[in-house]
Amino acid sequence: MIDFSFTDEQTLLRQNTRDFLERELRPISAEIDRDAKFPAEFIRKMGEMGYMGVPIPEEYGGAGLGKVGYCILLEELGRVDASVSTILGAHCSLGSTPLLYFGTEEQKMRYLVPAAKGKALHSFNLSEPGAGSDAASLQTTAVRDGNDYIINGTKLWATNGKEADVYLVFAATDRSLGAFGGITAFIVERKFDGLKLGTEEEKMGIRGSSTMQLFYDNVRVPRENVLGEVGKGFLIAMTTLDVGRISLAAGSLGASSRAIELAVEHAKRRVQFGKPIAEQQAIQFKLADMGIRTRMLKFFLYNVATRAEKMGTNPAGWSKADREELTRDAAILKTFASESASFCVDESLQIHGGTGFIKSSEIERMYRDARISEIYEGTNEIQRMVIGRDIVKRGWE
């Protein structure tokens, strides 16, 4: 359970992915950020190469490389472009995993296969103007009308909101039943009448990904597009976020590693007081603190990913203990990863000095990009709440 090593296939995936991203993505990353431009052409290429469905089994159009393979991809993306890792995470972790875990065979064929093949982009719609951290207080409603449901409400912070073909939306079907029993997940196609795009947010980081407000105005959704059971939507959202937090951590690991790499390059080049600043203990201590966090993160990330992979894709078959441990460890991982990445980019920028504060420097973009990981997919305050509650409830090992 503690040991893991990468297979030859996983090592090859990392090498091929790194080559591909260095060749095709790095040259356009600064422009994507500057122009806040969704990289449609690059996402299309990723789809053609099978990257949009890396963890999805081959029978559903994916590459079948599991959670470890997926984390390798996200880690490599995190080294190059956080906008693209955000787009992929929203599409795959949040927008496709729930279909794999909770969808009917028909729903998988209809929606998961095109998503995994990169032919359709997905978006996950949980947050609302009045329901962010307190997700269970959502106000969007879904009312039964014959064989359909009618959805009304406003969603916020929808990554891929502008470009998506399919939206997984959470709505209250019976408020009196509360979070468990009262919330249902629905699969909504872009072309359904009544789904309207709101304003696109202008962000300080991950500027190549779109973040939209969405209006559901009497959107009629057929009953067969209920994902999982009616009333089980909150469980679907929470399970999805548990799993999503693992790949988010992979992106943070990539960013941390790149921040160290850039710091070392700069510190070896920059000569002050007659020698490269890399030879100063003040700089080496910074590198050491970055290295400690990043090394620990790598081992914990692939440990949690391996355990989540072993649990399989049918949450109904998970033991209570495994589920609770996954929830806690994903929260620990997400918190540690995002804070380590923020620490590393901040220290790397400090080592760069004035050069790192200049708009055209890579570390300046990474500094802005890293900040969101402490906020999205559950703020770190919520993660600490989840971890603390678990420790009180189940004790410590």
Q: Contact residues for ligand CAA (CB under 6 A)?
A: 90, 94, 124, 126-127, 133-136, 157, 159, 179-180, 234-235, 238-239, 241-242, 327, 376-378, 382, 386
225-229-230 Cα angle (round to 5): 80
- 116 vs 386 by CB, closer to ligand CAA: 386
User: Do strands 122-125 and 166-172 pair parallel, antiparallel, or not at all (unpaired)?
Assistant: parallel
Cross-strand bridge partners of residue 196: 215
Whole-number minimum distance, CB 124 to ligand CAA, in Å?
5
Whole-number minimum distance, CB 386 to ligand CAA, in Å?
5
Sign of CA dihedral 168, 169, 173, 175: positive
Output the six-digit token pair for 277.
């600043």
Residue written as token pair 């959202």? 237
Whole-number minimum distance, CB 26 to ligand CAA, in Å?
24
What H or E segment, with its residue span, contains residue 251?
helix 233-269
DSSP 3-state percent helix, strand, coil across the chain (nearest 5): 60, 15, 25
Whole-number minimum distance, CB 205 to ligand CAA, in Å?
13
d(CA 39, CA 41): 6
**Residues with catalytic annotation?**
377
- 166 vs 283 by CB, closer to ligand CAA: 166
- 244 vs 356 by CB, closer to ligand CAA: 244
Residue written as token pair 């990289």? 39
- 127 vs 139 by CB, closer to ligand CAA: 127
Residues 6+ apart with CB under 8 A from 256: 290, 293, 294, 297, 337, 340, 341, 344, 345
- 253 vs 278 by CB, closer to ligand CAA: 253
d(CA 64, CA 388): 35
Count CB-CB contacts under 10 A for residue 272: 9
Whole-number minimum distance, CB 202 to ligand CAA, in Å?
16
Whole-number minimum distance, CB 137 to ligand CAA, in Å?
8
- 29 vs 125 by CB, closer to ligand CAA: 125
Q: How far apart are the first and last CA of the chain?
A: 15
- Nearest to residue 124, comparing CAs of 73, 149, 79, 87? 87
